[in-house]
Amino acid sequence: MIPGSFEYHRPGSVGETVELLARLGEESRVIAGGHSLIPMMKLRLAVPEHLIDLQSVEGLKDIAIDGGDITIGAMVTQHELIESEALAAACPILRETSKQIADPQIRYCGTLGGNVANGDPGNDMPALMQALDADYLLAGPEGTRSIKARDFYEAAYFTALNEGEILTAVRFAAPSAGHGWAYEKQKRKIGDYATAAAAVLLTLSGGACSAASVALTNVADTPLFAEEASTILSGSSLDADTVERAAKAAAAITDPAEDGRGPVEFRRHLTAVMVRRAVATAQTRAA
Ligand code: FAD
């Protein structure tokens, strides 16, 4: 399929982008890597009259690790997330998750901002951002604001992004030194979206788990922060019974679609399996 016709714009700054979005109105759309938007345009599920390309917008490709804070610009590609040794040292789950997105060709173009702003429940980065308790930094006609990744997703393709706003960066506290991490993703084949996936971060202290964070991909209309599962793990010794309770609590909040990836019960069951595996791997990696 060939997309509908559109006018192409290439602003150089966030201010110029916001001004263009305000002037061109609801028929305009920003484009980042294009690997979600262009397929939708080809299917005519999106028919923007104006495409505003973020490639030349200054400041959106920065990666900053400043004290305990990590800030990643919206236009940093999934490939760049994998390549950054500094990010891999400060927050290794970013590399692990990025490597499980699609294939290298898509990761060369696909951006962190596009992945989290799109609102596709199949995207892997939103759940990771919820596990990391990230803030999304937004810019729009009213100025700048931030919103928690845990509050951003409303339904499939519906987010808290207001008309005329763009996401400029994500920011989160670097996980503590010696933390354990894992992103476990079950998919039908290489390059596929998750049938179910779980991001787990945990901190061990004296053999017990002092903090834990669990989030899930593609098992509901939105990514899911598994609050009860996180609470069950925190303060426990991560014994088999506790991990089982956490896995079941995570599965209980899912509401997966029945599609080519399997029936509801299977995907729910798989969620528990992903959580168990991710906890086990994170535990072995924690210092
Ligand atoms: P675009 O396609 O350019 O934009 C996507 C949407 O986000 C658009 O609505 C656009 O307007 C909006 N947008 C983009 N940037 C911003 C911004 N800064 N502020 C506000 N709105 C913005 N992803 C996964 O996570 N896991 C997978 O397994 C996976 N498999 C894939 C397999 C295939 C075959 C393909 C084609 C894609 C796959 N993807 C997968 C999606 C891929 O990672 C996309 O690149 C990514 O989700 C979107 O990023 P993008 O930069 O390409 O965004």
Task: Quickly list DSSP for 83-135.
Answer: H-HHHHHH-HHHHHHHTTSS-HHHHHH-BHHHHHHS--TT-SHHHHHHHTTPE
Ligand 1 mean position to 217 CA, how many Å? 15
Q: Are residues 107 and 152 in the same domain?
A: yes
pLDDT class of 191 with cuts at 50, 70, 90: confident
Q: Are residues 22 and 115 in the same domain?
A: no
pLDDT digits (tens, 9 = 90+) for 118-144: 999 999 999 999 999 999 999 999 999
- In this structure, how many other beta carbons lie within 10 angstroms of the beta carbon of residue 155? 11
CA angle 132, 169, 177 (to 5 degrees): 35
> For residue 173, is pLDDT > 90?
yes
Q: Are residues 101 and 123 in the same domain?
A: yes
Q: Are residues 31 and 106 in the same domain?
A: no
Looking at the CA of residue 39, tell me the nearest atom of ligand 1. 36
Q: Backbone phi, then psi, for 258, in 5-degree steps?
A: -95, 110
pLDDT class of 218 with cuts at 50, 70, 90: very high
Q: Are residues 185 and 167 in the same domain?
A: no
Burial of 143 (0-12, 13-18, 19+ CB in 10 A): exposed
The whole model's pTM is what?
Answer: 0.97
- In this structure, how many other beta carbons lie within 10 angstroms of the beta carbon of residue 26? 10
CA 254 to chain centre: 17
As for ligand 1, residues whose beta carbon falls within 6 Å of it are 29-37, 39, 54, 74, 101-102, 106, 109-111, 113-115, 117-118, 123-125, 166-167, 191, 193
Q: What is the predicted pLDDT for the residue at 213?
A: 98
pLDDT digits (tens, 9 = 90+) for 253-279: 999 999 899 999 999 999 999 999 999
What percentage of the chain carries pLDDT values higher than 70? 100
For the chain, how many structural domains are there in total?
3
> For residue 1, is pLDDT > 80?
no
Q: Are residues 222 and 266 in the same domain?
A: yes
Q: What is the span of the domain harbouring residue 94? A: 63-173
pLDDT digits (tens, 9 = 90+) for 48-59: 999 999 999 999
Task: Indicate whether 58 belongs to any domain.
Answer: no
Looking at the CA of residue 192, tell me the nearest atom of ligand 1. 28
CATH at 264 = 3.30.390.50
Task: Indicate whether 134 belongs to any domain.
Answer: yes
pLDDT digits (tens, 9 = 90+) for 83-95: 999 999 999 999 9
Q: Are residues 86 and 124 in the same domain?
A: yes
Q: Are residues 85 and 19 in the same domain?
A: no
Pocket probe for ligand 1: among 60, 78, 118, the residue whose CB has the most ligand atoms within 8 Å is 118
Q: Which residues of 230-243 are buried (b: 16+ CB within 10 A; e: fewer)?
A: bebbbebebeeebb
Task: Indicate whether 31 belongs to any domain.
Answer: yes
Q: What is the predicted pLDDT for the residue at 67?
A: 82
Q: Are residues 185 and 164 in the same domain?
A: no
